[in-house]
A and B are shown apart, each in its own frame.
Chain A
Amino acid sequence: VSVAPAEVERPQVREVTEPERPWVTIVWNDPVNLMSYVTYVFQKVFAYPKPKARKLMLDVHHKGRAVVSAGSREAMEHDAEVLHGYGLWATVSHDR
């Protein structure tokens, strides 16, 4: 995630625990996507409130990846497809 101006923050919240499900969508860090844009996309695609969207974005930025949604394999493929439409680098994986 690209460092956008005036976006200096520390992640303060621990992992948001999702119910245990077999499949997840993961978004990976990349050097181009803006922090603001990634947050915007998480809000737009998942209807997450801004704080959660921002926390996930910061996880991507600092940890290199974040689980952004969990559910059925079909639903995760749909999420990945939508995220690819926004230019985010998303993959589907078994939750573990």
Chain B
Amino acid sequence: VSGPGDPAGLADEELEEIMSGFRRIPGGVSARFTPDQASVLRGLVSQVAELIGGPGSADPAADGSPGAGSPGLGGDVPGGDVPGFRESPPGGAGLILGDAPPDAGPVAGGGRAADPLAPAFPAGDPPVPGFPAAGEIDLAGFEADFGAGGPSAPPDDPVLARLFPDAYAGDEASSGEFRRFTEAGLRSGKVAGAQTVLATLPGTGGRVRLPAGDAEAWVRVLNDVRLALGVRLGITEDYEHELPGAGRGELHSAYLQVYDWLTFLQETLVRALW
């Protein structure tokens, strides 16, 4: 655990807010993010949205995102739109989509916010140390095969198979029939939720204030992202008790730190919603 540093020129109260996750405020919840935390979270949410809905799904402008037009509770950061952010989609390469070549650098388009795997915290006394650096992880080979199979067959990608599981254990026909009627709607619901998060989390970080409806979208999306990371990282019930880096490498444990941070965020959000 870091000492009381001042990693990003933050006031003590701001650092305290960042480290305490979500909290209840009148009419909703709030949390504060560093720019790098916001960037990492936006990147992961974008990747999950694109895995589920296809390229462009992470862009709230692509259709009427429920969150994009919601008045929200305002915030003390300038707007929800970072100029140029949409021109540099953050989901081009990374852990979730897994379409990055082994030595892929930052995706084309550049810009700090474009890299979902950039360190979530500035170097030096970070609240959560050990975030992976850009392009350091090689998880190529995961297929983003959304829509590739028939609508009644389960997705090949293990993340999608977890997000859209068979509804009948050992009954392929019934599962296929259920899937045929539900999967498209479930996919759009999850993409819409991701767009709500992207529309309410400024790429510059800062304080996010969410009315209850948006907070509900956030808690689901945080869960979806954790499920996706959990599949990619091979999370088990007792992963916390495994020896650090045991046969997995530093990057794996670095991503576990991202996973743990998301777990913390979701836990504080659930408690703020109760």
Contact B236 A86 (CB under 8 A): no
Partner of A85, one of B166, B189, B236: B189
What is the minimal beta-carbon distance from B158 to any residue of chain A, in angstroms? 13
Given contacts A40-B273, A91-B168, contact A85 B263 (CB under 8 A): no
Q: Is the CB–CB distance between B182 and A81 below 8 Å?
A: yes
* Bound form: Cα–Cα A60–B270 in Å: 18
Interface code A53-96, partner B: CB below 8 Å = 1, 0 otherwise? Answer: 00000000000000000000000010011001111011111000
Q: A81 and B168: CB pair below 8 A? A: no
A36–B270 CB distance below 8 A: yes
Indicate the size class of the contact surface on chain A: 20 to 34
Is A4 a contact of B267 with CB atoms below 8 Å?
yes
Asked if B169 contacts A86 (CB within 8 A), the reply is no
Q: Is the CB of B274 within 8 A of A90?
A: no
Asked whether B266 is an interface residue with its Cβ less than 8 Å from the other chain, the reply is yes
* A33, chain B: closest CB distance, angstroms: 7
A34 to B237, CA, bound (A): 11
Task: Indicate if the CB atoms of B267 and A40 lie closer than 8 Å.
Answer: no
- Distance to closest chain A CB from B137 (angstroms): 19
Number of B positions contacting A (CB below 8 A): 33
Q: Is the CB of A87 within 8 A of B227?
A: yes
Q: B271 interface residue, CB < 8 Å from A?
A: yes
Quick one: which of B35-84 are within 8 Å of A by CB? none
Residues of B within 8 A of A31 (CB): 230, 235-237, 239
Contact among A36, A81, A92 for B267, CB-based, below 8 A: A36
- Residue contact A90 to B270, C-beta cutoff 8 Å: no
CB interface residues, B 178-220, toward A, < 8 Å: 178, 182, 185-186, 189-190, 219-220
Q: Is the CB of B169 within 8 A of A93?
A: yes
Closest to A37 in B: B270
- A32 at the B interface (CB under 8 A): yes
Instruction: Establish whether residues B178 and A87, one from each chain, have CB atoms under 8 Å apart when the complex forms.
Output: no
Given A31-B237, A40-B274, A92-B178: A84 in contact with B168 (beta carbons within 8 A): no
Check B146 for interface membership: any CB of A closer than 8 A: no
Bound together, the chains give a CA A86 to CA B174 distance in angstroms of 21
B267 CB contacts on chain A under 8 angstroms: 4-5, 34, 36-37
Report which residue of A32, A36, A91 has the largest number of chain B beta carbons within 10 angstroms of its beta carbon. Answer: A32
Chain A proximity of B116: nearest CB distance (Å): 20
Identify which of A5, A33, A84 gathers the most chain B CB atoms within 10 Å of its CB.
A84
Q: Residue among B185, B235, B270 with the most chain A CB within 10 A?
A: B270
Distance in Å from the Cβ of A77 to the closest Cβ of chain B?
A: 6
How far is the CB of A58 from the nearest CB of chain B, in Å? Answer: 15
Interface residues, chain A, CB within 8 Å of chain B? 2-5, 31-34, 36-37, 40, 77, 80-81, 84-87, 89-93
A81-B186, A84-B164, A92-B168 known; 17 new pairs, CB 8 Å cut-off, are: A4-B267, A5-B267, A31-B230, A31-B235, A31-B237, A34-B270, A37-B219, A37-B223, A37-B267, A40-B270, A40-B273, A77-B178, A77-B182, A81-B178, A84-B182, A85-B220, A87-B227
20 contacts between A and B (CB under 8 A): A2-B263, A4-B267, A31-B230, A32-B235, A33-B227, A34-B270, A37-B266, A40-B219, A40-B270, A77-B167, A80-B178, A81-B167, A81-B186, A84-B164, A87-B224, A91-B166, A91-B169, A92-B174, A93-B168, A93-B169
